[in-house]
Structure 1
Amino acid sequence: IVVERVQQKAYAQRQLRLTRPTLCDSSVKQYSGYFDIAEEKHLFFWFFEARHDPEHAPLMLWLNGGPGGSTIASGLLFENGPCRISSDTNDTVHNEHGWNEKTNIIYLEQPVGTGFSYGTLDSVGTLANLAEDVYVFLQLWMHRFPAHARKPLHIAGESWGGHYVPNIGHLIDEQNDRLIYAPRPGQLQLNLATLTIANGLTEPASQFGSEAEYMCGGAPYPPFEPTDRRCAAWHAGTPTCVRMINSCYKFQNNATCISATAFCWPLLFTHPFTESGKNFYDLREDCRDKESGLCYPEFRAIGQWLNRTSTKLALGVDPDYDFKIVNVDVQTAFYKKGQAMLNSAELLIPLVNKGIRLLAYAGDTDGVCNYMGVERWMTRLEHDLHVEFEHAPSVPWKTTSGRHVGDVRVAGPGAGNVTFVRVFDAGHMAPFDQPEATLDMITKWIDNEPFA
C-alpha cells in the first residue's frame, strides 16, 4: 500500500514510495517503503521517530553490512531497533534499549538484493556507487521532511558498514563543498555531524594483520593457544596477506584487490573459524545454528516474521517477495569488483580535519572485525588529532547506572572528535549482547557528553 510518492526535479526518474506502518512500535510515527533509483534498482527503508521529543531529536541513518546482510533483520530487529522478535511467540516485543529513544532513525537496506531491496544484481556496483545512491536517498528524504534537513545527521554502519560509512561521508562532504560555489536548485546541504563505525571492516591491512594475534591468545576468550601449531601457519601467512592488501591500496585495481581477498580471507577468516567451531561473531559461544551459517537461531524467527504476508503488506512490500537474511550473491558481486580490501579509512582524514566527529566501537569478543585491529587502524590514522589520539590512554567507561562496561580512548572535548570504544563481553552485533551499554554509548556520543 503506497500512501505517498516523493519526487524532486533535481533527481529526475528517482522517487520515494512511502507507506505508514504501525508495526514494531506503534507509539511513534513511522514510514517505510522504497527508494526507486531505476527500473532494476529499488532500495527498502524503515523509519522511526524518536520516542522522546522527536521534533528536536537528530537524525541517524543506520546501515548493516554483509554485503547483502539485511539491515531490517539484523540492525532493527536483532540489535538496536524499537522492537525485537520473540522466538516464543514469533511476534514483536518492545526493546527498551532501542536507539530511537532520543534519535529519529532510518534503517536502509542496501545495495540492491539486500533484504527487501530488489532489482537485478547487474546493478550492484562499487562502494562509490553505493554512496551515490545513499546520498540521493538522503536528498529526497530531506526534501520530503525539511525539518530533518536542519538537524544534525549521524551516519552509522556495522561490519561492511566500515566501508560504507567513510564513502558516504566523503561524498556528502564533497557535494556540500561544491554547493558552496555552485548551488544547484533542489540540492541541499546535508548537516553531517558524526560518523559511527560499528565492528567495521575499514582498513583491512591493520585488521587482517591483527587476526592471528587475536585468535591465538589475544582475545578475551581465545579459541586457540599461542603455541597451537595452526597459529604458527596463520602467523606465517600474515605478512604476505598484509603486503597484498597494501598493493591493493596502492594500485586499486581488480588484479591486486581480488588477489588479496582470495589469499587473506580463507587463510585468516575461513580456516580459523572452521577449525574453532566457535560463533565467529561472538567467541564466547559455539555456533548455535550451523545449518544457516549465521550461528544465531533468533534469525530464523526474524526471517519468518518478515516473510509473513501481513508484515510485507504493512510495510509496502510485494507479498510474493522472498525475504532473505543474507544474500550471498550480493557479497560475491562486491568481491568480484575488488571492493573488500580497499582502504576506506583514508577517506576519513579530511572529514575529521573539518570537525566531523568519528566514533569506532567494537565488541571485544567479535572474531570477524576484532577490536584490536579496529583500535590499531584508528591509532594509525594521520589526521590533525593523530598525536593526541595516539597518546590518549584507555580509560574506564561506565554507564549512567555505574556499570563498568568498556574502555574508551578519546581525542577532543566531550565525547571526543575521534573516539574508540571497546565494549566488554559483546560480539559483532554489540547492541544485541549489551543493549543497555550501547544505548548509553550512542546517547553520550550524540549528545557529546564525556564517557569518563
Structure 2
Amino acid sequence: MDFGLKLTVFLTSAFVSTISSVHHVLGNDDLVTNLPGQPAVDFHHYAGYVTVNEKNGRTLFYWFYEAMSHPDDKPLVLWLNGGPGCSSVGYGATQEIGPFIVDTDGQGIKFNNFSWNKEANMLFLESPIGVGFSYSNTSTDYDHLGDEFTAHDAYTFLHKWFLKFPSYRTRNLYIAGESYAGKYVPELAELVHDNNKDPSLHIELKGILLGNPETYDAEDWRGLVDYAWSHAVVSDETHKIISESCDFNSNDTWGNEDCCKAVDEVLKQYKEIDIFSLYTPVCIGDTAGSDHKSLQVMMKRTSNMMPRILGGFDPCLDDYAKAFYNRLDVQKALHVSDGHYLRNWSICNKKIFDDWADSKPSVLPIYKKLIVAGVRIWVYSGDTDGRVPVLSTRYSINTLGLPITKAWRPWYHKKQVSGWFQEYKGLTFATFRGAGHAVPCFKPSSSLAFFSAFLLGESPPSSR
C-alpha cells in the first residue's frame, strides 16, 4: 500500500477521534439540498466525487443516504451494480433499494417505502471510471479496466470517503451487490481482508450480500442453459446438443461449432422475452426504450472469459433513469455540474463491457478465504431470472462442498412463502419466489425484511 494512502488513513483515524459524533461535518460540501422533485425526508443525503488517483485525475461518483433513523447506531452498506459498466446509482439507488425511485415519466422521483436505508446507511458507488458520472482525465486509464483495477479503485475510494465522513471509519461495513457485482463484491472484500493485516488500514468488514451473482463462469453458463431448457425456452434437441458438445470448463469450448450454434439458439430465443424476468412483459411501444427491447448479446469467446450478456432488466425504467440524470438541474443538485455544462450520463457503458479484459473465472476461492475469516456471506436468487438463474448459483455453491447446517426449507414474509433457503457452514443461500434479476424491484417488502435479517445475522423467518 502506498505511503499516501497510509497517511490518509492515519489522518482519518486521528480526526475521527475528535469529531466522531459529527459524522457529516466534512461531507457538508456534498450535502444534497435541492434535488428536483424530492419528497420531504428527515435524513441527510450526500452526493459528489472522490478522487482515487490525483496524478491521473481518476474520480468516482457516489451517492450516500444516511439511515432514516439513528444513523449513528447503524452499519454502513456499500452497494455495487455490475455490467460490467452499469451504474449503481441508476439501478440500485433509484430503481431498487434507495429512498428515491425514478418515476415513470422520467422527469421526477418518488419515495420508496421499502428503502434499505431504513436499516442501514447506504452508499452507492458508480464504478469503475466510465460508469455514470465517474471519469478519469487520463485516457489511458480506460485501457486497464477489469476486475483488479476496479477493486483497487473501490478500495481507495472507501479510505478517501472516510475522510469526508470520519465516524464511519470504524463502523461495521457490509458490501452488497448483484449480477456482475458477484465478482466485484468478493474481490473488494478480499482486498479489505488482506489489507486489514495493517492496523492503519483496518476496515470493520462484517459481511457480503450477493444477489443473482455471477460467481463461477463454467457453472453460471451451465446453469443458464439448463434453466432455459427446464423453463421451456429451448427445445430438448438444443439442450441435448449443448450437453453433448459443450464443455464450459474448457477454454476451447467455443471452438466447437455444434456447441456455438446451440448456445446461439438459446440466446436467440431469449431475445423474444426478457431474460432478466421470464414472465413479465418487455418494453414495447412508442417509448424511448422501444429501440432496445431486444436483448443485446455480446459473445466473448476468449481464453480468459466466458460469454457474457449485456442488458437491463427493464428497458423502460432504464430510459426513465437516463432522462432524469441528464437534467441540468439534477446534475447541479448532485454536484456533478456547475449548472451550465451538462455531463452525458448513461445507465450502462457498452464500451466498458466490450473492452473488459480482466475477469476472474471463479470467485469461489475468495468465498473460501472469507469463510475462514468469519465474514458473513449471504447469497440470494430471484427464481424467474434467466440471466444468472437460480440453477447457476446452486451449481456454483455446490462445488464448495460446504456442510449443511440447516436443511432446505421455506422462508416467510407476511405469512406467505417468499422463497426457500438453506444454511451451510459459512454461507446462507436463499431464493425469492417470483422475482427476476433485480430482486428488490419485484419483491421490495420481502427484500427489505431479508436485508434486515442479513444485517442481524439471523435466519430468514422459517414459520408463518
Q: 1:215 aligns with which of 210, 228, 237?
A: 228
Contact 1:237 1:267 in 2 (8 A): no
Displacement, 1:260? 6.4
Partner SS for 2:67: coil
Matches within 5 A, 1:20-169: 20-22=31-33, 23=35, 24=38, 26-38=41-53, 39-88=56-105, 90-119=107-136, 122-124=140-142, 125-169=145-189
Pair 1:363–1:308, CA change in 2 (3 A): same
Q: Which residue of 2 aligns with 1:388?
A: 404
Q: 2:345 aligns with which of 303, 323, 326?
A: 323
Question: In the alignment, residue 422 of structure 1 is paired with which amino acid?
Answer: T
TM-score (ref. length: structure 1): 0.83
Distance in 2 between residues matched to 1:110 and 1:445, nearest whole Å: 24
Contact 1:83 1:93 in 2 (8 A): yes
Partner SS for 1:330: helix
Q: Which residue of 1 aligns with 2:302?
A: none
Q: Does 1:439 align with 2:448?
A: yes
Q: Can you give the 5+ residue segments of structure 2 that lack an aligned partner in the other structure? A: 11-25, 284-288, 294-311
Q: Which residue of 2 aligns with 1:250?
A: none
Question: In the alignment, residue 292 of structure 2 is paired with which amino acid?
Answer: S
Q: Which residue of 1 aligns with 2:292?
A: 292
The farther-off stretch of 87-96 and 132-141 is: 87-96
Q: Which residue of 2 aligns with 1:10?
A: 8
Distance in 2 between residues matched to 1:203 and 1:215, nearest whole Å: 18
Distance in 1 between residues matched to 2:259 and 2:455, nearest whole Å: 35
Q: Which residue of 2 aligns with 1:345?
A: 364
Distance in 1 between residues matched to 2:364 and 2:148, nearest whole Å: 14
Query: How many residues are paired up?
Result: 405
- The C-alpha deviation readout for 1:250-304, integer Å capped at 9, x for no partner, is xxxxxx8xx8699999768764233241101111134325522544312211110
Contact 2:241 2:262 in 1 (8 A): no
Pair 1:74–1:271, CA change in 2 (3 A): farther
Q: 1:398 aligns with which of 412, 417, 430?
A: 412
Pair 1:260–1:57, CA change in 2 (3 A): farther
Contact 2:6 2:201 in 1 (8 A): no
Pair 1:8–1:350, CA change in 2 (3 A): closer
Displacement, 1:32? 0.7
Q: Which residue of 2 aligns with 1:411?
A: 424
Q: Percent identity between the aligned chains?
A: 24
Distance in 2 between residues matched to 1:264 and 1:168, nearest whole Å: 38
- The C-alpha deviation readout for 1:14-35, integer Å capped at 9, x for no partner, is x999521133564311111112
Question: In the alignment, residue 408 of structure 2 is paired with which amino acid?
Answer: S
The farther-off stretch of 276-285 and 159-168 is: 276-285
Partner SS for 2:51: strand
Contact 2:106 2:324 in 1 (8 A): no
TM-score (ref. length: structure 2): 0.81
- The C-alpha deviation readout for 1:296-336, integer Å capped at 9, x for no partner, is 312211110111000000001134210011100111121xx
Q: 1:233 aligns with which of 241, 244, 247?
A: 241
- The C-alpha deviation readout for 1:101-134, integer Å capped at 9, x for no partner, is 1100100000111011122563243312211111
Distance in 1 between residues matched to 2:386 and 2:186, nearest whole Å: 22
Partner SS for 1:279: coil
Partner SS for 1:438: helix
Pair 1:269–1:11, CA change in 2 (3 A): farther
Contact 2:106 2:320 in 1 (8 A): no
